[in-house]
Structure 1
Amino acid sequence: MRVKRNKRFHAEIAASSLSDIMFFLFLFFLIVSTLANPNVIKLSLPKARSTAQTTKSHISLSIQVEEGKDNKYYLDQAPVAFDSLGIRLAQHVEQTKDSTVIVRFPYDLRVQDMVNILEIGESQKLKFVIATTKKP
């Protein structure tokens, strides 16, 4: 009696090497993502729903936006040119030893204008707090 052997080919995938590759890729992306340091500006944001107010009188920086014109900048309601804004803030910090600046941004200010102002504060190690209006 002749015994037939089953000689069918069975396709198989070697999964052990794939799991090793996936583990190394996972470690690579984990290390790369923790080392990536985007350019950020630290900023203290107040809550618009609360009525928290400062107890000290910090310097106030306001911006007024007009359609088709340059922005107007005010330090404690006194107009100041953007070019001399950093110098005036440095003088104020030197006189009062207070490095906190309350910034009032209008809702229609361009993001680049806001970043330019925050870069001035970052270069002089100032603490910027954005003032908001209370929600009705």
Structure 2
Amino acid sequence: MGFGTQNKVKAEGGMASMTDLVFLLLVFFIIMSTMSENNTPVDLPKPSEKLDPSKTNTTTTVIVTADNLYQIMSGQLDDASNPFNTKTEGGSYEQVKAFLVEQVEANPERKLKIAGSREAKYEAVFQILALAKNREWNPALAYD
């Protein structure tokens, strides 16, 4: 006696509808990619506009070298009056500390930018960050 069912249900799906769906999605993404804008508007000054001297860059920058020495760049002074400029070897934390405090606190915004070599030790950078936190400066880490 054969009590099995004679009607078998096929569990297969048709591939024709799947290819239609993929084609429609492809057309959709092609159209959307051509309609998108990749431009970012930038408000640049006109060539005839003069720069306001009060808006010049006065942020002091500390550069930590690979030898864990410190170099200081400041928009307020020239290289001749800066003993720790980028043309010199730099100085240790104790040598640079007083000069750095003087330069940052002369700026009313008290901004400090910290940049450094990838080979510099973390402790060298953290010493400057701790000084900035204790003096309530506005430090910013520069990286690329």
Q: TM-score, normalised by structure 2?
A: 0.45
Q: TM-score, normalised by structure 1?
A: 0.47
Task: Report which of the two structures shows the higher radius of gyration computed on alpha carbons.
Answer: 2
